[in-house]
Amino acid sequence: MGSPMASLAATLLVLAFSLGSVSQTTADYYYSSPPPPVKHYSPPPHYSPPPVYKSPPPPVKYYSPPPVYKSPPPPVKYYSPPPVYKSPPPPKKDYEYKSPPPPVKHYSPPPVYKSPPPPKKDYEYKSPPPPVKHYSPPPVYKSPPPPVKHYSPPPVYKSPPPPVKYYSPPPVYKSPPPPVKYYSPPPVYKSPPPPVYHSPPPPKKHYEYKSPPPPVYQSPPPPVYRYKSPPPPYHY
């Protein structure tokens, strides 16, 4: 009985001594501050109706020459089996009444048809030919000379151009080189000044309208609370 009680009393003394020493060594203990309070902000303003931001239309490009847009060909439909197209029936004709053929007469004996005689021509009188005269010796007929035309001024006769000969292959004619002139002193050739090219002014850009940027709502920064820890308890 004596030994367990003595050991318990010894452990209690050791604990009391250790707590006293810890309280003396941890005199500079810092208490942690509580978390800052959560601040609830009012919601951002609501617009009714909400604002609509529209961007400007894109710039229109002008082509020179203007582009030609071609539509794609229509799709080809394939039928299986292929359709059979039938033409409509012809319209019905109105009924036509036909008279019956005339009756055929039969003769006994059959008649003989004779054509009439040709008409008689009127009598044509022809005169006798003129008598032929015979000359001894026969006469010689001479035509008069043609008249002579006098021109003032006299005409100028031009002969036709000579025929052009075509060679195969055509001949190549080479002219002699021009004579070389010698100058004393030799001439001084001055080249003309180089041309000055002025580039056209740059094209003016079309004014582009830009929509204003949407407003940026910034929440105020949360306040910084600095809590001071309470002083440590005073130990006597």
* Residue indicated by tokens 């710039």: 59
Question: In this structure, what is the dihedral angle of CA atoms 60, 61, 62, 67, given to the nearest 10 degrees?
Answer: -120
Q: Give the mean model confidence (pLDDT) for residues 163-186.
A: 78
Please choose, from the candidates 36, 35, 34, 29, the residue with its C-alpha nearest in 3D space to the C-alpha of residue 231.
29
What pLDDT digit, counting tens, does each position of 135-165 carry? 777 777 788 888 887 777 777 778 888 888 7
User: Is pLDDT larger for residue 91 or for residue 44?
Assistant: 91
22: DSSP letter: H
Rg (CA), the chain: 70
What pLDDT digit, counting tens, does each position of 33-63 carry? 788 888 887 777 777 777 777 888 888 877 7
